[in-house]
Amino acid sequence: MGGTEERYIREAFEKNWIAPLGENVDKFEQALSEKLDGSGVAVVNAGTAAMHLALILLGVGSGDEVLVSDFTFIGTVNPILYQGAIPVFIDSSMKTWNMDPALLEEAITDRMKKGKKPKAIVVVDIYGMPAEMDRIGGIAEKYGIPLVEDAAESLGSSFDGRPCGTFGAMGVLSFNGNKIITTSGGGALVSRNHDVASRARFLASQAREEALHFEHSAVGYNYRMSNILAGIGRGQMEVLDQRVAAHRANNEYYRNALGDISGLVFQTGPDGRYFSNYWLTTILFTAPGSEDAARTVCAALGKEKIDSRPVMKPMHQQSFLAHWPAYLNGVADTLFAQGLCLPSGSMLKESDLERITGIVRKAILRK
Q: Which residues bind ligand PLP (CB under 6 A)?
A: 46-48, 72-73, 75-76, 124, 150, 152-153, 174, 176, 187
Q: Would you say 131 and 99 are in contact if contact means Cβ atoms under 8 Å apart?
A: yes
Q: Coil, helix or strand for 265? A: strand
CB-wise, 86 or 189, nearer to ligand PLP?
A: 189
CB-wise, 294 or 315, nearer to ligand PLP?
A: 315
Q: Coil, helix or strand for 154? A: coil
What is the closest distance, in whole angstroms, from the C-beta atom of residue 6 to ligand PLP in the complex? 22
Beta carbons within 8 Å of 254's beta carbon, 6+ residues apart: 266, 281, 283, 342, 353, 357
H/E stretch holding 190: strand 187-191
What is the closest distance, in whole angstroms, from the C-beta atom of residue 25 to ligand PLP in the complex? 16
What is the closest distance, in whole angstroms, from the C-beta atom of residue 179 to ligand PLP in the complex? 6
* CA–CA–CA angle 91, 336, 104 (5° rounding): 5
Residue 104 is which amino acid? L
CB-wise, 313 or 361, nearer to ligand PLP?
A: 313
What is the closest distance, in whole angstroms, from the C-beta atom of residue 349 to ligand PLP in the complex? 26
CB-wise, 171 or 187, nearer to ligand PLP?
A: 187
What is the closest distance, in whole angstroms, from the C-beta atom of residue 75 to ligand PLP in the complex? 3
What is the closest distance, in whole angstroms, from the C-beta atom of residue 189 to ligand PLP in the complex? 12
DSSP 304: T
CB-wise, 80 or 239, nearer to ligand PLP?
A: 80
Cα 252 to its chain centre, rounded Å, is 21
What is the closest distance, in whole angstroms, from the C-beta atom of residue 356 to ligand PLP in the complex? 22
CB-wise, 9 or 46, nearer to ligand PLP?
A: 46
What is the closest distance, in whole angstroms, from the C-beta atom of residue 47 to ligand PLP in the complex? 3
Beta carbons within 8 Å of 29's beta carbon, 6+ residues apart: 41, 42, 43, 188
Q: Which of 27, 36, 21, 29 is CA-nearest to residue 7? A: 27
Per DSSP, the residues of 66-105 read EEEESSS-GGGTHHHHHTT-EEEEE-B-TTTSSB-HHHHH
Residue 182 is which amino acid? T
Q: Which of 315, 319, 353 is CA-nearest to residue 335? A: 315
The residue sitting closest to ligand PLP, measured at its beta carbon, is 47
CB-wise, 128 or 231, nearer to ligand PLP?
A: 128
CB-wise, 187 or 235, nearer to ligand PLP?
A: 187
Torsion from C-alpha of 257, 258, 261, 265, nearest 10 degrees: -140
What is the closest distance, in whole angstroms, from the C-beta atom of residue 287 to ligand PLP in the complex? 29
CB-wise, 166 or 290, nearer to ligand PLP?
A: 166
Torsion from C-alpha of 145, 57, 184, 266, nearest 10 degrees: 0
Beta carbons within 8 Å of 299's beta carbon, 6+ residues apart: 363
